[in-house]
Amino acid sequence: MQFFPLMGAFIFGCITLFTLLVTLGTPLGEFTLGGKYKILPTRMRITSGISLIVQIIAIITILVAGGIIAISFPFNAERVLCIFFGCYLLLNTVLNAISSSKKERYLMTPLSLLSSICFFITAFSF
């Protein structure tokens, strides 16, 4: 049953790569944070950088929970973290879906939703 952790890590990895590019100032800002800016202002790039760190933790979490990599989490916290990240991505899906940016709505919404589903399935597959 390693399909969902790998799929979730892959999809969320693509989102993380995208977040890295936006954080570095590439002209992809229309796909994120409301789509108001083509290149994010410095303050929003800092926010994006913080999000990048959270996304890396999420990828590690789903890979540990899915048994792909072996890292010892205290108290089997990977399941709780997978549920947390599933909820985080579900909220992100809603925010993307109501974004004024068509690019964000049509690309990021389905990616976020698929990632959320993978996190939930992985969390409840223990």
Domain count across the chain: 1
In three-state form (DSSP H/G/I as H, E/B as E, the rest C), the secondary structure along the chain is CCHHHHHHHHHHHHHHHHHHHHHCCCCCHHHCHHHCCCCCCHHHHHHHHHHHHHHHHHHHHHHHHCCCCCCCCHHHHHHHHHHHHHHHHHHHHHHHHCCCCHHHHHHHHHHHHHHHHHHHHHHCCC
pTM above 0.85, yes or no: yes
Reported as a single tens digit per residue, the pLDDT across 66-98 is 999 999 888 779 999 999 999 999 999 999 999
Task: Over range 1-21, report the average pLDDT.
Answer: 94
Give CA separation, 26 vs 10, 45, 74, 125, in Å. 22, 10, 38, 38
> What pLDDT is recorded for position 126?
67
Sequence-separated (6 or more) residues with CB below 8 Å from residue 99: 34, 35, 105, 108
Reported as a single tens digit per residue, the pLDDT across 20-52 is 999 999 999 888 888 888 999 999 999 999 999
Whole-number Å distance between alpha carbons of 8 and 11? 5
> What pLDDT is recorded for position 65?
93
Q: Which domain holds residue 47?
A: 3-123
Whole-number Å distance between alpha carbons of 10 and 65? 15
Report whether pLDDT(1) > 80: no
> What pLDDT is recorded for position 72?
85
